[in-house]
Amino acid sequence: MNKKGIVIFLIILGLGVITLSIIGFMHAGNKTPPTQSTYTDPSNGKQLIENAPYTQSSKNNPDTTRPAFISFSTLTDRGLSKAQTTQVENAIYSYSSQKTLGFTEVSLVTNSIETTPPGSTDPGYFIKFAVTVNRSQQFFINVTYSDFNSCTTQIYKSDKTTLLFTQ
């Protein structure tokens, strides 16, 4: 082979290596994650990973035994501040911890939310809603507040009359 043929061969070989490298990098980023079965939460229609390790922690509470609070951000759309929503979550977590109930997943039933503005006899606002705990047990939550800094959370049995916990 002459010099011109060797140069052409090396150029073609180099272009081939570059092309294969580009294809390899493109396919490396498109790996399909392992298949996981999903669960559609009937409380709010959200699709969740079946048997996922539903524990969460936050900057304020690094406890990884906290349950996952699903759809609780909806409460900020209905009048609670972010801080109050966290207080509601903490109250539910405290109830679960004190009674050693082992809540791992608390799902807000979004179509159950009722808001009540202050009345003439009661100056506070109310938000009432149902939650489904661990995909089976229902509780009713009543939140009372008069400002955006604090609130009182009451947890009732699903009958809405038997008070279980106040914080």
The answer to whether 90 touches 106, Cβ cutoff 8 Å, is no
62-100 pLDDT tens trace: 566 788 899 999 999 888 999 999 999 999 999 999 988
pTM for the complete prediction?
Answer: 0.66
pLDDT of 47: 61
16-44 pLDDT tens trace: 778 877 777 776 655 555 555 666 666 66
